[in-house]
Amino acid sequence: MNKKEILDKFSADPQRYYNVNLFEDQGFERKSCKTCNRYFWTLDANRDKCPDHSDDTYSFIGEPPTSKRFDYTQSWKEVESFFVKNNHTSINRYPVVCRWRDDLYFTIASIVDFQRVMGSKVTFEFPANPLVVPQTCLRFKDLENVGVTGRHFSSFCMIGQHSIPNESGYWKDECVNLDFNLLTQQFGIDKKEITFVEDVWEGGGSFGSSLEYFVRGLELGNAVFTEFQGDLSDYKTLDQRIIDMGAGLERFAWITMGTPTAYDCCFGPITEKLIQDAGIDANSSVLVPYFTEIAKNLELYDDLSQVRKNAIKSTGLSDEQINRIITPLEGIYLIIDHIRTLIFAISDGALPSNVGGGYNLRIMLRRIVSTMDRLKLKFDLDEIIDIQIDYLKNTYPELEDTRDDVKEIISIEAGRYDSSKQRMQKIVSKLDKEPSVTDLIRLYESDGVTPEYLKEMKVISEIPSTFYAKLSDLHQSKKQKEQLTLPLEGIPDTELLFYGDDPREFSAKVLKVFDNFVVLDKTGFYARGGGQEPDHGKIAECDIVDITKHGNIVVHEIKGEIPKEGETVSCVVDSTRRDGITKNHTSTHIINTSARSVLGSWVWQHSAFKEADHARLDITHHSALTDEDVLKIEQAANGIIEKSIPVKIENFDRGTAEQKYGFRIYQGGVVPVKSVRIVSIGDLDIEACGGTHVANTSDVEQIKITRTKRIQDGVVRIEFVSGDGAKEFVKKKQVDSENKEKEEKLREQEKERRLEQRQLAKERIPVIAKSLLECKQGSVTIDDITMELAESGKANFCYSTSDNYDDVFHIGLGETLCKTDPKLVYCGLFEQGEKVRVIVYAGEDISKEKSAGEIVKSISQILGGAGGGSPKFAQGGGTDKSKKEDAIKNAKSMIIQ
Ligand SMILES: [Zn+2]
Ligand SMILES: [Zn+2]
């Protein structure tokens, strides 16, 4: 469906879609813009163009149209008090990390707070009606505009005014009335200044009319009336009509202050401080005309560098003024904006990384650091964070709790960027042409080289305007899981016995059988889910292979003779397995909260896996865990076990659970059902969880962390065992360390023995050698060493196969003998462990004909092994101990025939 088509249709019938009581009562006139033909409503008889094309566009800069002046904090107080006075409930902002939606990393609009996705349907859950919320929203599409345009932010406060038309809520007439009174009564804006422009909204299969309201060309808010579903040819009114009025708080402040940019009145005292520190003349008369031109040109051109060029040209700024005032100001605005966004994101548990939503956070941090480097600004990031939180906590007091955590994360990230610069420099030096946008994305994705760095290094002159939009697209939405389709139509939901009495033996009726799959009317077997592995056991006489849940139907995969439909079967749960898994599941919750208390508020469950004999929990954390971290987490976990805290399980309506416990409950991800099962360990850990749990933490008995590993950027895996598994692990560790001790002792003894041998050899070798060399013909054997002389007198052979001698002895004796007798070949054969080793020496003369290497090769072959060496010295061996005598015979035949 095309927005233009809807608008044409709705604008053709203004009475039905746009004319509200206020317009009648006040006498608003409906006009069509002279330039673009769009319809708008005004009290100003002279106005003939829509706000985009009017002459007074952005004339509030330097000359605000209100009698009152409110900055960011004060503006919210005004908005809040107005709506509360008019029967609205003011609710706290929701986290900027959108834990309740699978398809979004960050909260991008106030209405997202109340949207819950169930299957393909979006439903709305309002904690109050009507309500107003100061919702911080993160948007990364326009990053290159931030700091430059005067009005783009990476995060902003959307004033959400939401109502469901029923006995407590209202519809169009009341909504537009309220918004008009907010502007005129609370903010003191002349009613003639306000223009309502006809527009439409469509998304997710529904659509409706909307009225955007402007003052001096600045869009302050947009009241969307989500009313219909279907398409233009055939649509009907929604069961649940919704008013989604979103207004930018930053713009409310700006219109009353009339500062050159919205940044000047929305960041609190930090802006002035940094401008002073940098020595910029902020009172310069060039600022108002320059930023007014920027704002006007931004409506006309898409290309930001073109907008900037035009503004410079029409205000006649010199290069010197640009470099001294405008460029550093843009940098300061960027730095403050980006830090403000990081404060919210990190406070709500997001970490900069190179994956998922963390990606944009890392980009921003690197932009902050590069901008400071490029402009040679020396700011203290901690100080900026402190001043910002001091200001923001007027509206968002919860930011105080995470002040130190924000500082820690930002300092770690900034440090990492600094240390990665050398690497980047190397990569950049290899570039041989100006990189394209695709190149830039690849350079960032695979090498972490930011375009800001390239700009700083003067590789590129400007960052292409499409860069951040493309990057953001790549990392915007999460993948949806594929659903298996099984023939389950018409089968009623399975009754889950493990949420009740949890019997380990039960009988059930077979409702459906297909392939190896069985569906029962009720089951006590836990199906794979939430990282918990499925139960095992028997259905009739069949072993269970796997169990999965499809919607609310549990499907058992079994092997053996499959029961028939309609039969009643008896079932037995493998209790030992289940108990192991259950302990590990409760342990996962215990370790999660322990890790958070030891490491910091940024720790969230990333994913988890619970088997009977082992489990793992992946948590979000910026660095690998140190031994000290691991020890502390383990101690904290076992402390929770020792305290014997009851594990409480309660069911809540989802909205109630969120309001009562906050979004920390979604550790395991989104819960796609109306009723949530809350598992709480005192007030230490409260999670929405469908798994099985022990009744008291003491039932876990013990937790041992067996291994930890950084598995991806920003995620650390903790592997652990609990209960009997932990005890066995401790025992095994004990045995291992005892074995190690034993081995160490044996090694020590061996070393001593060799020393003794060496000493002995030193003393005995000269004596034995002397006696052997006294043999002048035939043969002689001394201490199991035999000397044989050839009848020809041309060769002598000395050998031993006794295991009383080792390598040290043979090497010593062989060398001694061969030095004295150049015709001698010495051959020592001895067993060492599983092997037979051989060492051969050959004297100077004989080595020329009978190489020691050749002899060893031949002997080793007989022994079933290999060996070799030089003509004078060689060694080798084999494993066949029965061939020792054969080997010597062979050697002898080679030497003395
Ligand atoms: Zn127009
Ligand atoms: Zn759980």
Task: Tell me the per-residue pLDDT of 249-270, one tens digit each, with 9 for 90 and over.
Answer: 999 999 999 999 999 999 999 9
Q: Which comes out higher in pLDDT, residue 138 or 116?
A: 138
3 state SS of 551: coil
Distance 715 CA to ligand 2 centre (A): 18
Is the whole-model pTM more than 0.85? Answer: no
Listing DSSP states for 242-300 in one string gives EEEEEEEHHHHHHHHH--SSTHHHHSTTHHHHHHHHHT--TT-TTHHHHHHHHHHHHHH
Question: Measured between alpha carbons, how far is 574 from 572 in angstroms, rounded to an integer?
Answer: 6
Which pLDDT score, from 0 to 100, does residue 896 have? 81
Nearest ligand, CA 38: 1
Give the ligand at the shortest distance from the Cα of 195.
1
Helix, strand, or coil (residue 704)? strand
Which positions ≥6 away from 142 have C-beta within 8 Å? 152, 468, 469
DSSP-based three-state secondary structure for 207? strand
**How confident is the model over 769-804, as pLDDT tens digits?**
888 888 888 888 988 999 988 888 888 999 999 888
The DSSP 8-state label assigned to residue 778 in this structure reads S
Residue 721 β-bridge partners: 704
- Tell me which residue of 379, 377, 384, 302 sits closest to 343, measured CA to CA: 384
- Residue 589 CA to ligand 2 center (angstroms) comes to 6
Please state whether beta strands 517-520 and 553-559 pair in parallel, antiparallel, or not at all (unpaired): antiparallel
Rounded-to-integer distance, Cα 759 and Cα 379, Å: 71
What ligand has the least distance to the C-alpha of 53?
1
Which pairs with CB-CB distance under 8 Å and at least 24 residues apart come from 400-409?
401/347, 401/601, 402/346, 402/347, 402/601, 405/346, 405/347, 405/600, 405/601, 405/602, 406/342, 406/343, 406/346, 406/347, 407/381, 407/382, 408/600, 409/342, 409/346, 409/351, 409/352, 409/600, 409/602, 409/622
Nearest bound ligand to the CA of residue 680: 2
- pLDDT-above-90 percentage for the chain: 68
Measured in Å, residue 78 CA sits from the centre of ligand 1 at 31
Q: How many other C-beta atoms lie within 10 A of the C-beta of residue 46?
A: 6
Angle value at C-alpha 266, between 217 and 255, nearest 5 degrees: 25
Question: Which ligand minimizes its atom distance to the CA of 587?
Answer: 2
Q: Which helix (H) or strand (E) holds 120?
A: none
CA 11–ligand 1 middle distance (angstroms): 15
Query: What per-residue confidence (pLDDT) applies to 593?
Result: 97
Q: Calculate mean pLDDT across residues 497-502.
A: 91
Q: Token digits for 159?
A: 């004033």
Count of other CB atoms within 10 angstroms of residue 707:
11
Tell me, letter by letter, the H, E, C secondary structure of 358-404.
HHHHHHHHHHHHHHHHHCCCCCCHHHHHHHHHHHHCCCCHHHHHHHH
C-alpha distances in Å from residue 59, one per residue of 190, 222, 255, 580, 818: 15, 21, 10, 70, 108
For residue 67, pLDDT over 90 is answered with no
Give distance in angstroms: CA of 664 to centre of ligand 2: 12
Is the pLDDT at 34 greater than 60, yes or no? yes
* pLDDT attached to residue 897: 67
| C-alpha 537 to ligand 2 mean position (Å) | 22
How many Å lie between the centroid of ligand 2 and the Cα of residue 665? 10
More confident residue, 718 or 359: 718
Ligand nearest to the CA of 668: 2
Q: How far, in Å, is the centroid of ligand 2 from the Cα of 342?
A: 29
What is the average pLDDT across 271-295?
91
Q: How far is the CA of 593 from the centre of ligand 2 (A)?
A: 12
Structure tokens at 144: 């290159």
699 has pLDDT over 60:
yes
- The alpha-helical segments, DSSP class H, found in 12-71 are 14-17, 21-26
In a 10 Å sphere around its CB, with 0-12 CB exposed, 13-18 middle and 19+ buried, how is residue 736 labelled?
exposed
Residues whose beta carbons lie less than 5 angstroms from ion ligand 1: 33, 35-36, 50, 52-53
Instruction: Please give the distance, rounded to the nearest whole angstrom, from the Cα atom of residue 139 to the centre of ligand 1.
Output: 27
- CA dist 715 and 358 (Å) reads 11
Q: What percent of the chain has pLDDT over 70?
A: 99
Q: Point out the ligand nearest to the CA of residue 647.
A: 2
Average the pLDDT over 147-156 and give the result: 95
Distance (angstroms) between ligand 1 centre and the Cα of 53 equals: 5
Amino acid at 873: F
Does 167 score more than 80 pLDDT? yes
218 CA from centroid of ligand 1 (Å): 13
Nearest ligand atom owner, CA of 588: 2
Q: Look at the chain and count its residues.
A: 897
Least confident of 21-25, 495-499, 754-758: 754-758
Identify the nearest ligand to the CA of 667 by its number.
2
Radius of gyration in angstroms for the set of CA atoms belonging to the chain, rounded to a whole number: 40
Cα(279)–Cα(292) distance, rounded to whole angstroms?
23
Question: Which ligand neighbours the alpha carbon of 590 most closely?
Answer: 2
Residues 703 and 598: their CA atoms lie apart, in Å, by 16
> Among 473, 513, 521, 468, which residue's Cα sits nearest to residue 495?
521
- Spatial distance between the Cα atoms of 569 and 571, rounded to a whole number of angstroms: 6
Query: What 3-state DSSP class applies to 44?
Result: coil
**What is the pLDDT confidence band of residue 832, given thresholds at 50, 70 and 90?**
confident
What is the pLDDT confidence band of residue 481, given thresholds at 50, 70 and 90?
very low
Gap from CA of 405 to ligand 1 centroid (Å): 48
The strand pairing partners of 508, in sequence order, are 569
Peptide bond into 130 cis (omega under 30): yes
- Is residue 480's pLDDT more than 50? no
User: How big is the CA angle at 819 (ends 817 and 824), to the nearest 5 degrees?
Assistant: 55
Q: Does residue 475 carry a pLDDT above 70? A: no
- Lowest mean pLDDT across 455-469, 517-531, 811-825: 455-469
pLDDT in tens, 847-882: 998 899 999 999 999 999 999 999 999 999 999 999
Instruction: Compute the distance between CA of residue 826 and CA of residue 785 in angstroms, rounded to an integer.
Output: 10
Distance (angstroms) between ligand 1 centre and the Cα of 603 equals 50
pLDDT over 70 at 325, yes or no: yes
Nearest ligand for residue 589 CA: 2
- Find the 203 Cα to ligand 1 centroid distance in Å: 24
Q: How far is the CA of 394 from the centre of ligand 1 (A)?
A: 39
Quick one: how far is CA 256 from the chain centroid?
41
**505-514 and 568-573 strand pairing:** antiparallel
* Token pair 């169009």 in the structure block, residue: 172
Instruction: Report the relative pairing of strands 835-842 and 866-869 from DSSP bridges.
Output: unpaired
From 36-40, 52-56, 305-309, 623-627, the region with the lowest mean pLDDT: 52-56
Rounded Cα distance between 542 and 688, Å, is 33
Q: Is pLDDT above 70 for 277?
A: yes
Q: How, if at all, do strands 542-550 and 517-520 pair?
A: unpaired
468 has pLDDT over 80:
no
- Specify which residues 243 forms β-bridges with: 163, 225
Categorize the per-residue pLDDT at 418 as very low, low, confident or very high, splitting at 50, 70 and 90: confident
> Rounded to an integer, what distance in angstroms lies between the CA atom of residue 840 and that of residue 493?
82
Q: Which two tokens stand for residue 149?
A: 């345009």
9 C-alpha vs ligand 1 centroid, how far in Å?
A: 19
Angstrom CA distances, 342 to 101, 103, 146, 514, stand at: 20, 21, 14, 52
For the cut 70, the answer to whether the pLDDT of residue 304 exceeds it is yes
Identify which of 647, 628, 646 has the alpha carbon closest to the alpha carbon of residue 636: 628
What is the spatial distance between Cα 240 and Cα 340, in angstroms, rounded to a whole number?
36
Query: What is the whole-number distance in angstroms between the Cα of residue 689 and the centre of ligand 2?
Result: 4
Q: Is 313 left (phi over 0), alpha (psi -120 to 50) or beta?
A: alpha
Helix 852-862 and helix 884-896, axial crossing angle in degrees, nearest 10:
150
Contact 370, 412 (CB under 8 A): no
**Average pLDDT for 332-348:** 97
Mean pLDDT of the region 553-569: 93
Contact in structure between 235 and 229 (CB atoms under 8 Å): yes
- What pLDDT is recorded for position 353? 87
Cα separation, 408 vs 95, whole angstroms:
20
Check if the beta carbon of residue 172 is closer than 8 Å to that of residue 226: no
Q: What is the pLDDT of residue 479?
A: 40
pLDDT tens-digit series, residues 84-102: 999 999 999 999 999 888 7
Q: Which residue has the higher pLDDT, 45 or 671?
A: 45
What is the structure's pLDDT at 420? 82
In the reported structure, the alpha carbon of residue 114 is separated from the centroid of ligand 2 by a whole-number distance in angstroms of 24
Separation CA 134–CA 113 (nearest Å): 11
H or E segment to which residue 135 belongs: strand 131-138
In which element (H, E) is residue 223 found? strand 218-231
Ligand 2 centre and the CA of 524: distance in Å? 18
